Amino acid sequence: MLVSELRCLRCGHEEAPSSRAYLCPRCEDRNPRDPGILDVRYDYDKVAEEVARGGGWLQSRHDIFRFLPLLPVEAPGPVLPSGGTPLFAAPRLARRLGLRALYLKDETRNPTRCLKDRATAVGLTRALQQERKTVYCASAGNAAISLAGFSAHAGLECHAYVPRAASPERLQWLERYGARTHISSGNYDQAFAESEEAGREGGWYSRNCAYNPFLVEGKKTAALEVAEGLGWRAPDLLVAPVGDGCTLAAQGKAFRELALLGLVESRPRLVGVQSAGVQPMVRMLQEWEGSDPSGVLSGDPPEAGTGGDATGAAGTAAASMDVKTPRNARRLLAELRDVNGQVLAVEDDRMEEARSVLAREAGVVAELTSAAALAGLEDFLHADGGGRDRTAVVLVTGGRES
């Protein structure tokens, strides 16, 4: 394993790669909205050596473990195969948006139909390696369903903490996979707090992506595949929906690492999309934008916005981004700042429309949250000089119906 250290995104404190700490011990109790999430760092000289040797990317693998040198595991785990999803051009959508090319990365083709499986594969590999028997997470649905499916395959006990607004369809998926489901009386934020408490008490393995630092590493593999699929070139724009911020931040990190390794020459501008009803990242980006970068990154993030409240009412029909307190805000804002990225918000009815366009003009059935990315891209181009000569990749993050 080529991990060199775990570095706190908030204060810079470093933990050894072998540390079992989930959060920075110095920051953990300071601010629950910004608890000192650790970032996995690698010995990039060694990674470069591995990759240069030709066998660096595992040519025999077609799942996420193809990119083993940039993952925090010793060896591929005996888990459901995730990743290796298709990246394909959608010429009708490109024409509609005036882009030179638009590619879809179809994450609905993962084992539980969602990009979350990439993170789960890394988490479960580590949990199995540590001989853990019980795993848990808080989730509006997809992360829990992913964990439940992977746990079923691996024979682990899975506890899922879901908000009150979780749809009956999602609960049924959990039931099918045999997970133990705990329905919160409140929203995702409350379910998150409940899960962490139970997890600490039970000594269970956490699959909360904005908490367990290793999970984001799995999400990176989507961008690594995008780069490989484009012949080791970056698109001009990479678009994804934003909940906690882990997914989009991970794509930024992947391209940053590829640039560091000399494997791509440029990096994409990241475009994040939220819902008009719950758009804390839009607001946080605006507030942080005007301030001194060093001061910003050493201070506390601003208050989060509106949205789903403590009574459990949903802030948007796009369940996977109904996140009032984005837990990986600091990570995402740093990645955005690095590439002149953007976050914007779209109304729910625009997402519905985009969902229909994706199906009718690209043959992909996406969940509402994922369709939001297409609507957001349209708005971004409108405000930013149009498609011009640009190439964009939209991460179609998930494909559950409701």
Question: Of 37-45, 180-188, 220-228, 363-371, which part binds ligand PLP (CB under 6 A)?
Answer: 363-371
Q: What angle do CA 251, 7, 162 make, to 5 degrees?
A: 60
Alpha carbon distance 68, 72 (integer Å): 8
Find the binder of ligand PLP among 367, 391, 392, 394 (CB under 6 A): 367
The item of Zn ion, ligand PLP, none sharing an interface with residue 321, based on CB under 5 to 8 Å by kind, is: ligand PLP
Find the binder of ligand PLP among 110, 125, 274, 397 (CB under 6 A): 397
In this complex, which beta carbon is closest to ligand PLP, that of residue 47 or of residue 119?
119
Binding status of residue 116 toward ligand PLP by CB under 6 A: yes
DSSP state of 325: S
Residues 200-239: x where in contact with ligand PLP by CB under 6 A, - otherwise, as a string: ---------x------------------------------
Q: Closest separation between CB of residue 281 and ligand PLP, Å?
A: 9
Edge to edge, what strands does the sheet with 14-15 contain? 14-15, 3-8, 38-42
Contacts of residue 222, defined as CB under 8 A and 6 or more positions apart, other chains included, come to 83, 85, 105, 107, 115, 118, 247, 250, 251, 254, 395
Tokens 């888990």, located at residue:
79
244 vs 143, 272, 312, 316, CA distance in Å?
12, 11, 18, 15
Residue type, 37: I
Q: Closest separation between CB of residue 249 and ligand PLP, Å?
A: 8
Find the binder of ligand PLP among 114, 137, 165, 362 (CB under 6 A): 114
Question: Of 38-46, 94-102, 173-181, 365-373, which part binds ligand PLP (CB under 6 A)?
Answer: 365-373
> Whose CA is closest to 251, among 275, 276, 226?
226
Which residues of this chain interact with Zn ion, rule CB under 5 A?
8, 10-11, 13, 24, 26-27, 36
**Binding site residues, ligand PLP, CB under 6 A:** 114, 116, 142, 209, 241-247, 320-321, 367, 369-370, 397-398
